[in-house]
Chain A
Amino acid sequence: MAEAKTPLATGKAADKAAGKDAGAKESKASPVPTREAFYKMQADKQGEARQKIIAGATVAVCGLGGLGSHIAWALARAGVGHLILIDFDKVELSNLHRQEYRADQIGRYKSEALAENLLAALPHLSLTTHTAKLDEKNAPRLLASADIICEAFDRPEAKAMLAGFLPRFFPDKTLVAASGMAGFASPNLIKTRKITPHFYLCGDGVSDIAENDGLFCPRVMLCAAHQALTVLRLLCKEGDV
């Protein structure tokens, strides 16, 4: 892996401005905190009662592109007990403007690359990866243990397919899906709607990749953040939008 270049002059100037000693020794890595320390930190920041629920939950993320990679990060950082990460695709250069992968991961399966990135930051994370194309045949098996399922595909047909078959297999599981986060329009148009008690839809509902000028990381992240926060709120029985 190429060594990252640090803009030293800028860094020192910033330290000085912040009142830090610019001549201080370089920082040393501390030992990795224990699982218990991680949990306590998350409970301190997010509340003990909620953390207990979040840590006991299993969430599936279907599709690990711009939406799914960011959803997974948000849920992992929040301390979701178990993540199921599903994608059949490999990392490409064209993903790197909006998806949470590194240049040196191009050519690798997204499921494996994302798991590696998440575990590097959060070593006690529990997850399962499936390098597979989700369909009606494998969904009953791959999604069986999930409490909540995030739809994070890019093709509208795949989105509709999952939203369509999920209630037949798992009428009591909740789907948090996405539609409309392409283009450059206002961030304030991204919303979360409750379609049924088991079906939430995030996005602006209209911005299609086929008709818009591209996909922008922050707009996709907004939609992913809606989905991730909706998942956490649903787990904590705060399902009103």
Chain B
Amino acid sequence: MITVNGKSLPYPEKMTLASLLLAEGFTAARVVVERNGEILTSAAFESTLIQDGDCLEVVSFVGGG
């Protein structure tokens, strides 16, 4: 199992973070992902493989300021 923003999901074998974000409806250029205390940015999404047990927090930015 993995956890994405508090929601439990089955562990997707051999899936990149980029694919997971796409499947979950996130726009890669507008998010950063916190994994085990580390902040990952879009440059690393393609090269990051989801590990079983991962606890991910996807922080989405919306426009306005």
Contacts and interface: CB of A to CB of B under 8 A. Distances in A.
Query: Is this pair of chains taken from one and the same complex?
Result: yes
Interface of A: 63, 65-68, 152-157, 159-161, 163-165, 167-168, 177-182, 195-196, 199, 201, 205-210, 212, 215, 220
Interface of B: 29-32, 34, 37-43, 57, 59-65
B60 A209 contact: no
Contact of B59 (A201, A206, A212): A201
A156 B62 contact: yes
22 contacts: A63-B65, A68-B65, A156-B29, A156-B62, A157-B30, A159-B65, A160-B30, A160-B32, A160-B41, A160-B42, A179-B60, A179-B62, A195-B34, A196-B34, A196-B37, A199-B39, A206-B62, A208-B63, A208-B64, A209-B62, A210-B62, A212-B64
A207 B62 contact: yes
Given A163-B41, A199-B39, A220 B30 contact: no
B60 A205 contact: yes
A234 B52 CA distance: 34
A196 B41 CA distance: 15
Q: Which of A156, A178, A207 has the most CB of B within 10 A?
A: A156
Q: Which of B37, B40, B65 has the most CB of A within 10 A?
A: B65
Interface of B is mostly: mixed
Contacts of A152: 65
Contact of A159 (B37, B39, B61): B61
Contacts of B64: 66, 154, 180-182, 207-209, 212, 215, 220
A237 to B, nearest CB: 20
A50 B58 CA distance: 34
A146 to B, nearest CB: 18
Contacts of B31: 160
A75 B34 CA distance: 28
Q: Which of A154, A161, A212 has the most CB of B within 10 A?
A: A161
Nearest to A161: B41
